[in-house]
Every structure is written in C-alpha cells, then in structure tokens.
Amino acid sequence: MDPAITIETLKKDLAEMKAAFEKKTFEAVSAEVQQQSNLLNNITLEIAITGRSGVGKSSFVNALRGMEDYAEGAAKTGVTETTMVPQEYSHPTFPKVKFWDLPGFGKDNFSAEEYLEEVNFSKYDFFIIIASGRFTEDDTNLALEIQKNKKKFYYVRSKVDVDIDNDRKSKGIKEGDSDRKMQSEKETLDTVRTDSYDNLKALGVSSPRVFLISRWDLSKYDFPLLQETIEKEQDELKRDVLIMCLPIFTKDSIKKKKAAMESLIWKNAMVSCTVGLIPVPFLSFGCDIAIVVSTMRDICKVFGLDENSLNILANRVEKDVEELKSVIEHTPSTGKITAEFVMDILKRSAMWGAITAVEMVLGFIPLLGSLYGGGSSFATTFYLLNNFLEKAVKDAEKVLAKAAEPKRHK
Ligand SMILES: Nc1nc2c(ncn2[C@@H]2O[C@H](COP(=O)(O)OP(=O)(O)OP(=O)(O)O)[C@@H](O)[C@H]2O)c(=O)[nH]1
Ligand SMILES: [Mg+2]
C-alpha cells in the first residue's frame, strides 16, 4: 500500500486524540476508548417508523435498507393486514442498526398512549411519523405523547412523487418538457410544504418541521435534510453510528463519514496496541492484527465499498455492479482484507518514514510512547488505518461519480 496520506494530515488526525488527553487522565481516556472503539458492534440504534395505515411505512423501511418491496426479507407493502406487532428490520451492513416497522395506528380506537405502550416505545431512539396526505389529530396526538416521554420525532410527508406527477399532468405538461417540469415540481413541493405546515399549525403544533420524501428516491427532496437533522439531534456516539450507516448521496456525506471514521481510528489503534501486544513476526512491535483487519473492513462498509452495499447501490441507480466496481482502484474487496493482507503491508518498507514522523508527533503524549514500546505500535497502526481510510474515501468518491453518470443506452 503506497502512502496516500501526508504527514500534515496525520498531524491533524491526531488533534482530537491530543485534545482528549489534555482534558482527561490517561485512565479515563483509555476507558472511554475501550467502550467506543467497537462502536459499530456495540452501539444499537432503534429507529421507529410509524403513522396511520397505508401511508408508506413499510415502503420507507425498504427504501432505507435499499431494498425492493418484492425482495426476500423486505417489509410487506400494499397490504392492509397489519398486526399490533412491530416488525424488526436490520440495516443490511450494520445489524445493530434497526428499523422498526410499527403497525398503523388510528383504526383500533387505541389512544396514542395505549398505542405507544403496545409498541413498547421506550426501546426506540427516535420516531418518524409518516403521513401521505394531510396530518391528522392522530399524528399530532402521537407526537405529543412521544414528546411527553422525552423522545424525539420527525414528521415526514411521503409520496410527494405522486403529487408532483398529478400536478404536472393536470397542468398538461409533457414528460419531455424538462424546463416546465422542473418549475412545476418546485411549485408542487412549495405547496405541499406550506399545506403541511398550515395543517399541523391548525392542529396546534407551534413550529412544525416536515420533511418531504418519496420512497422511490431517497436522494431527492428532503430526505438528505432529514438525515442531517436527525444526526444533529443525537448524542455523539449514536450520531457517529448514524453517519456511518446511512447511504451516500453526496460528497458531503463522504466527508462526514470520513470525520467519524478518523475519530474511530485513533481509538481502534489504541485498543489494538493494548489488547494483547501480540508480537508481529519480523517486526519490532506488537499490535492486534484482528482489530486492524476488522477496522479496515468496517471502513469499506461505511463507504459502501463492500459487495453488499455495491449491489444495493447498483440496484438503486439501475447500473451493473461491475460498472461501479470498475472505478475502485485502491480498496480490496472485504474478503481479501485478512491478517495476511495487513502483514504484507507491514512488511513493506514504503511507510516507515511516515511512521517515524508519527512517532515524533506522538511526542506530545509521552505516556503513550512509554506504554506502547516507544510509540511505534500505535504509530504503525494509526498510520496504516488512516492511509487505508484516505484510499477508501478516494474510491467512494469515484463510485459516487460513476453512480451519478447518465445511464448508457444500449
Ligand atoms: N408513489 C409512491 N408510492 C408509495 C410511496 N410510499 C408508499 N407507496 C405506496 O403506498 C402503498 C402503501 O404503502 P405501505 O408501505 O404498504 O404502507 P404502510 O404504511 O406500511 O401500510 P400499513 O402497513 O397497512 O399500515 C403501497 O402501494 C406503496 O407502494 C411513495 O413514496 N411514493
Ligand atoms: Mg406496512
């Protein structure tokens, strides 16, 4: 693996760690790091999707998981037979992240309080309340009850693609007339937005927030804003998990993922050096290669470079998965990221200069140096993972660009 990262970047990456050590004792940082290092496998995120019957709850769950409604294991849609049992659906690559398809409410004479009790509300991190037309008193009562229980909720207005299509047709705008179509779309979105605000205000909500979405394309309308809003309102660890697991629609989401991973990397590098100090053959330092391997695999998953995520993306943008894979230059498939792969990089000399530099930078945490064999175990792991991250980011940007290219007509 050739160096992809500069010393300046490495120094910047060490800043957060430096700040942590300045604020807290070594023991306190170590304890936190132990807890946070395996973030993606330790922290659960339970997301409740609720709303009246037929508003598109199950469809939204499928869209979040990047699944067709007819795929095996997808939430059943279009059927009105709902039971009072919440259905659990795991994120396709991060199983600790769960989407809960809650039963439709408002038809069984359940009060909001009874409904929430029935669906075991306390386990969810936040709620998404969907309406496909006007919001009703049922929706606002539910929101009020959620708020009473000190949980967050987000109003989502689904099926805006239907509104856009209906308006276009009623104005007599042809499918191919792209200028007028765009103008009409903007007008429809403005109208739906204003209507939803007014509608919720009339129901007594003082400053409503509503996010407009279509299950058919989460990169459009307000889904990216919804994602960003939810992220901002989570505590630090859940926010990082959310950032890591949500789909990439823009370069900005890649940037956010990178920052979250940088924070994870110094923690994982520390743990890798403390767990057992397993000596690496031929080298003068020890580290836990299994942790390095699993962090590299997580990096691939976070940036959508693993087989599963690439297939989901290919499906979403209706492209051949091989076409997307063809632009990946630096990151091996997750199956090839093994202990041998890591050892192989370690044995090559290209990076030793950089590692010496990291060791020098580490002078600011003398204790670290004395604990970890002069700092070289940490420096090596830290360098290796950040270099890998840099490369994954480059590949993720290329995949994003490729996915956005217009489809080739055969
Ligand atoms: N055009 C369009 N159709 C949607 C959208 N979301 C859902 N639908 C359709 O609306 C119908 C109902 O969707 P479901 O996801 O089954 O609704 P639900 O809220 O789970 O319904 P219940 O489980 O019965 O409460 C299905 O035919 C979906 O295909 C959307 O964003 N756009
Ligand atoms: Mg359903």
Residue 119 C-alpha to ligand 1 middle, in angstroms?
Answer: 20
pLDDT in tens, the chain (410 residues): 455 677 777 777 778 888 888 888 877 887 888 878 778 888 899 999 999 989 999 999 999 998 888 888 899 888 665 667 899 999 999 999 999 999 988 777 788 899 999 899 999 999 999 999 999 999 999 999 999 999 999 999 999 999 999 999 999 998 889 899 999 999 999 999 999 999 999 998 888 999 999 999 998 999 999 999 999 999 988 999 999 998 888 898 899 999 999 989 988 888 877 654 555 554 545 567 888 899 999 999 999 999 999 999 998 889 999 999 999 999 999 889 998 888 888 776 555 666 666 666 666 555 565 555 545 677 778 888 998 999 999 999 999 999 999 876 54
Q: Is 86 in the pocket of ligand 1 (CB under 6 A)?
A: no
Tell me the C-alpha distance between 42 and 326, whole Å. 33
The fold for domain 42-238 equals Rossmann fold (3.40.50)
The dihedral region occupied by 333, where left means phi > 0, alpha psi between -120 and 50, and beta the remainder, is beta
Q: Cβ distance 130 to 49 under 8 Å?
A: yes
Q: How far is the centre of ligand 1, averaged over its atoms, from the C-alpha of 7 (Å)?
A: 51
Ligand 1 close to Cβ of residue 78 (< 6 A): yes
Quick check: CB of 54 below 6 Å from ligand 1? yes
173, two tokens:
């705008």
Q: Is 57 in the pocket of ligand 1 (CB under 6 A)?
A: yes
| CA 104–ligand 2 middle distance (angstroms) | 7
212 alpha carbon – ligand 1 mean position (Å): 14
Where are the domains positioned within the chain? Answer: 7-37+248-404, 42-238
With the most atoms of ligand 1 within 8 angstroms of its CB, the residue from 59, 85, 108, 162 to mutate is 59
Q: Which of 60, 70, 77, 219 to mutate to test the pocket of ligand 1 (most atoms within 8 A of CB)?
A: 77
Answer yes or no: pTM beyond 0.85. yes
Region class of 204: left (phi > 0), else alpha (psi between -120 and 50), else beta: left
